[in-house]
Amino acid sequence: MPPLENIEEVVRRKIVTIPDEEFKKTYIKSTYEIETEDGWALVITRYKPLKQEYDQPLFNIPLLLVHGFSQNRLTWTSGEFVKNMLYFGVDVHILELRGHGRSSRELQFQKNRTFGKPLPVDIDFQWDIDSYFLYDIPAAVKAVKKLTGFKKIFYCGHSMGGMLGYCYASRFQDNLYGLVTIGSPAEIGKNSIMLKVGSYIFPFSTSMIDFLLGIINFNQKIKFKIKKARKKVSHVVRITANLIPEKREEEKRELLEFNEIPIDEIFKELARFVRRRENLLRKLPDPFPKLWNPEKVDLNDLLYLLENGAEKEPVKVVEEFTRWIKKNEFKIYRADYDCKANFDKITIPIAIIFGDEDLFAGIESTKKIYRSVKSDYLLWRPVRGNSHIELTMGLDINQISYDIKNLMEYAVKNEENRLGKNFSQAENT
């Protein structure tokens, strides 16, 4: 038996997945569009598994993946997460929330220009977390069920995507066989002084920015009116002099607004900094809060994610997070639904996975969901040495993948025992 300190490394080496050169032979990749009730066109990327000679214990069983705050599908594809799921035969569906990745604002404008489809009312970064819960998640679950023919599906979310999963399962668990969350707090900001302080600073900062933009807009408004008045005078003079009508073009005055936070640009700058200061990051003291642990993630994978996997996020989303932190709430305000108060409604198998060095989702911030749910299968486990970002793409991804596989197998066998027949046959009858 290997020494205790080497067990984690042995587990990492022991798991055999598909060689890179053969990976593309294991699936058919496609994308499909879905539409939410409030008019957003969202895109889901699918990795449909192909039958292999080796055992695929979860062949064709659908798993919906939902990314976190300001992220996109690359959360799941930058490392080997999807590859490991395909090794088990899982039918992977990656949702990109409104305004993220392929579910972009540009897609909505394109459909408006090409087909005359009305633009969503919140197209100008006016959506919030409620929008994700009320519209995006239900539309995605419904679409995956319809496409695959399954009555229920599995859900796996990272960070905010997992928080949406907690809330969805507490209200609509009849649509799910099981739930996995990765780095997802149930009480965001719990025992985190940094997040608590940030929750007060952010609204003050946005108010200051709005105030400054208001001054600029007022100044521009005065200039616009003066310019308009001058044009009107010159127009009258020309008509009087020439007695010839002149066509006038209306001018539009666009106001400056602070609607979105450019997380994508911030992460790109962060990637440039990492390229120049890699050694400095590795020397940060342990108590220093990190988004990732450089010892637990491949640098090339990380830089690829930072440069391509971040999106702009509405100010309203951050404002809702700050409200949750300040009031210790977890609510969908537009539906008047208290997610935290309904955690005890969750009885499906659930795995709550988080890094023991995660600033956002640690033991304290996930304890509430662990103690509240009534699930027979309940995994609540920290991944040693991990922070937040590398949980879906780092060196311990095999360990996490097997946790997901174990939960899915348990739920499948439970369903077979309940129905007294093969799982796939039961779904198609």
Picking from 379, 383, 381, the residue whose alpha carbon sits closest to that of residue 295 is 383
Q: For position 275, what pLDDT does the model report?
A: 82
**Tens digits of per-residue pLDDT, 227-252?**
656 565 555 555 555 555 555 544 55
Contacts from 200-208 at CB under 8 Å and sequence distance 24+? 200/322, 200/326, 202/318, 202/319, 202/322, 203/319, 203/322, 206/258, 206/315, 206/319
**Average model confidence (pLDDT) for the chain?**
84
DSSP code of residue 395 = T
71 Cβ partners below 8 Å, 6+ apart?
A: 100, 158, 159, 309, 310, 311
Interatomic CA distance for residues 303 and 22, integer angstroms: 25
Give the SS3 label for residue 396. coil
Say what the pLDDT of residue 10 is: 39
Q: For a pLDDT cut of 70, what percent of the chain falls above it?
A: 76
Helix (H) or strand (E) holding 148: helix 137-148
Q: CA separation (Å) from 77 to 13, 103, 287?
A: 20, 16, 30
Residue type for position 6: N
Is the pLDDT at 91 greater than 60, yes or no?
A: yes
In degrees and rounded to multiples of 5, residue 248 shows phi and psi of -110, 135
Residue 424 pLDDT > 90, yes or no? no
pLDDT given at position 278: 63
71 phi and psi, to 5 degrees?
-100, -175
Provide the token pair at 120: 């969503």
Q: Are 376 and 349 in contact (CB under 8 A)?
A: yes
The residue among 418 and 300 whose pLDDT is bigger is 300
One-letter amino acid identity for 422? N
Instruction: Calculate mean pLDDT across residues 346-360.
Output: 95
Q: Could you count the other beta carbons within 10 Å of the beta carbon of residue 167?
A: 25
| Sign of the dihedral defined by the CA atoms of residues 230, 231, 234, 235, in that order | negative
Q: Per-residue pLDDT tens for 366-415?
A: 999 999 999 999 999 999 999 999 999 999 999 999 999 999 999 999 98
Residue 30, pLDDT score: 97
Q: Are 62 and 144 in contact (CB under 8 A)?
A: yes
Structure tokens at 304: 């690829």
Helix then strand then coil, in percent of the chain rounded to 5, is: 50, 15, 35
What pLDDT was estimated at residue 373? 98
Q: What is the pLDDT of residue 223?
A: 57
Closest Cα partner for 33 from 100, 102, 89, 81?
102
> CB-side exposure of 379: number of CA atoms within 13 Å?
23
Query: 350 versus 427: which is more confidently predicted?
Result: 350
With 0.75 as the threshold, say if the pTM is over it: yes
pLDDT grade for 429, boundaries at 50, 70 and 90:
very low
pLDDT at 142 over 50: yes
pLDDT of residue 234: 59
Order the strands of the 350-355 sheet from edge to edge: 27-35, 41-49, 91-95, 62-66, 153-158, 176-182, 350-355, 378-383
CB 383 within 8 A of CB 357: no
pLDDT at position 189 is 87
